[in-house]
Amino acid sequence: MSRGFAVRVQESDPFRRLGVSKPDIKQSYPEHPSLAAVSIAFLKVSLYGIGGGGGLVWARRITVDQQRWISEQDFADIVSLCQFMPGPNIVGIAVCVGTRLRGAIGAVAAVSGFLLIPWTIGFIVGVLCLQHAQNPVLQHILGGISAAAAGLLVATGLRMMLPHRGSPAAVIFASLGFLLMALAKLPLLIVLIGLAPLSIAAAGFQIARAR
């Protein structure tokens, strides 16, 4: 009976009926992408991103969801590291992801793709916006874009929490960070200095307890 069931399963396989082998999903995403692919990916991040939050959203979507170059956990770790690095977070993310994929030359490719063309366009658009800053239509457009960028940033933060949803400590520290910044309006650096040692100690305690 089991043999007959196996035969029926094989016959119902559409790839087998067509005479082709089933595609290997893992092979569709190269482990070491080309430098051009890395540069173009972060070019898209810079062009699609609206503000710093928008860049973070698109960096995660392109590198994790679309290209599958790194895992959700790896991206969350990179973002955590970049919080302590000087300069914009998204530039640090480009450096870390590029280094992870292709080493030092990959970091150069990622940062170059992120900076060269988009920042030139941004500079020109910024000059034009400053010349017409009092235009009511422009103010309404910028207000709508800011609201959309804030929503994307919140959604990305929630998705980054998904791998840690089973850890009560992670949920507690994430909630504390949100409350301290959103309600208490403390600077990011103060929140990081206050919560990072406690969260590291809690993670170490959980690892030691698991052993």
DSSP state of 135: -
Answer whether residue 68 is part of any domain.
Answer: yes
pLDDT digits (tens, 9 = 90+) for 166-179: 888 888 888 898 89
Domain count, the chain: 2
According to DSSP, residue 19 is labeled T
For residues 111 and 205, membership in a common domain is answered with no
Long-range (24+ apart) CB contacts under 8 A made by 26-30 are 29/67, 29/68, 29/69
pLDDT single digits (tens) 68-109: 999 988 998 898 888 877 778 889 999 999 999 999 999 999
**How big is the chain, counted in residues?**
211
Residue 57 CA to residue 94 CA, distance in Å, equals: 13
What is the residue range of 99's domain?
A: 31-161
Same domain membership, residue 133 and residue 94: yes
Q: Does residue 24 lie within any of the structural domains?
A: no
Same domain? For 57 and 83 the reply is: yes
Inside any domain, residue 151: yes
Asked whether residue 176 falls in the same domain as residue 151, the answer is: no
Q: Enter the pTM of the model.
A: 0.59
| Residues 113 and 198 placed together within one structural domain of the fold | no
